[in-house]
Amino acid sequence: MTGKAVRRGLLVLGLGFVMTPVALGLSVVLLIATFGEDGDGSVGNPVGGLRIGKGGVPAQYAPLILRAAADCGEGLSPAVLAAQIKQESNFDPKAGSYAGAQGIAQFMPGTWATWGVDGNGDGRKDVWDPEDAIPAQGRFMCSLLKKGKAHPQYNGSPIELALAGYNAGWGRVDQFKGVPPPSFAAGQTYHYVKNIMAMSARFAAPVASEDGTLPAGYELPEGTPDEVRTAVAWALKQRGGWYQLGGDCTDALGRNPAHWCDCSSLMQQAYRAAGVSIPRTTYDQVNVGTQVDIDKPKPGDLVFNPGSDGSDARPGHVGMYIGNGLIVEAPRTGVKTRIVTYESWRNSTSYLTRITEVRRVVDW
């Protein structure tokens, strides 16, 4: 990396990215955790983090990928950008293709003419320079993601539509009203999207440990209303309790299944502890409070998806956004109340678990 790139990396760190000693060349899995553009978890751009080092993102490209994602106001995931680079070039800045695609992000010359940027400020837009190509990739993907969000009727999540547009051109996405099917071009675009979405989990840093504990440094942002603080704290205390459909969530960690939690009773009891009354079922909770942009949640917001027994119009599952790109949920029978990433819902490849709506119970 050049001196300018290193300085930009330090600026990225200043936005809330916590960097480990990966620069020392240690051959271990290392993490960069992100807590929103303002560094306080209040921004609903749940970009998560990157897994750095062996099996993850090469260290020299991590700050570039994180910055490219953070510069997009549409909720672009750095893990998806990293998986896309892996698919395109295997992180090889000198990669070329028989079709004429160039560089680490495999831009065609005509596309580069439109989307190329001078990322390192050296006066050139160089497709072979990752410091230019990765910001350009993020800029192009951000535009495509915005298009994807504007077509909720298309087949595929917004990020899947964006990836398909990057690979085949947005015209093909319009043609097929979604991700082109396996029958198109021998399934090249279909499998491109599928592979990247699957690989993105490999590049995402875990933001919570396997035992469900919160990441180091987790805290609610300054200005969080007392009701939200209480509701979030109460919900988090129920972690580890078994799911029970119809359970009233009055003794989540006890022995009586009737008092365990299901998804909506967890939300109801959390807000009841804060002195706020909300309905019992997801079908009614989705009408509570005010609707907010799904890319701008705040702690305490209720996050809905269709679940196994609902639909986009009548979501059957709900969780609570707790900041720092995290959701607390009572998921399903046989699984304990847990923390998951907002990104895993926002960019889910299944409509059952893809976010349908976000509601703010307490305005702030």
Rounded to 10°, the helix 3-14/62-70 angle is: 50
* Protein fold of 226-360: endopeptidase fold (from Nostoc punctiforme) (3.90.1720)
pLDDT at 120: 93
* Protein fold of 3-203: Lysozyme (1.10.530)
Taking the C-alpha atoms of residue 234 and residue 274, their distance in angstroms, rounded to an integer, is 9
Whether the domain at 3-203 and the domain at 226-360 fall into the same CATH topology: no
Q: Determine the average pLDDT of the residues in 117-134.
A: 96
Report pLDDT digits (tens) over 288-342.
999 999 989 999 999 999 988 888 889 999 999 999 888 999 999 998 999 888 8
pLDDT at 21: 25
Higher local confidence (pLDDT), 5 or 241: 241
Report pLDDT digits (tens) over 133-177.
999 999 999 999 999 999 989 998 899 999 999 999 999 999 999
pLDDT at 256 exceeding the cut of 80: yes
Report pLDDT digits (tens) over 48-90.
467 888 788 998 998 899 889 889 988 888 889 999 999 999 9
- Per the prediction, the chain carries an average pLDDT of 83
pLDDT at 206: 53
Q: Which residue among 74, 88, 329, 343 is the active-site one?
A: 88
Cβ(304)–Cβ(317) below 8 Å:
yes
Taking the C-alpha atoms of residue 107 and residue 116, their distance in angstroms, rounded to an integer, is 9
**CA neighbor of 29 nearest in space, from 64, 1, 58:** 58
pLDDT at 2 exceeding the cut of 60: no
> Which residues, at least 6 apart from 82, have a Cβ–Cβ distance to it below 8 Å?
50, 56, 57, 61, 65, 200, 203
**Lookup: tokens for 358:** 């976000």
Higher local confidence (pLDDT), 16 or 43: 16
Taking the domains of the chain in order of start, what are their residue ranges? Answer: 3-203, 226-360
Whether 88 is a known active-site residue: answer: yes
3-class secondary-structure state, position 329: strand
Share of the chain above pLDDT 90, in %: 63
- Round to the nearest angstrom and report the end-to-end CA distance of the chain: 42
pLDDT at 157: 87
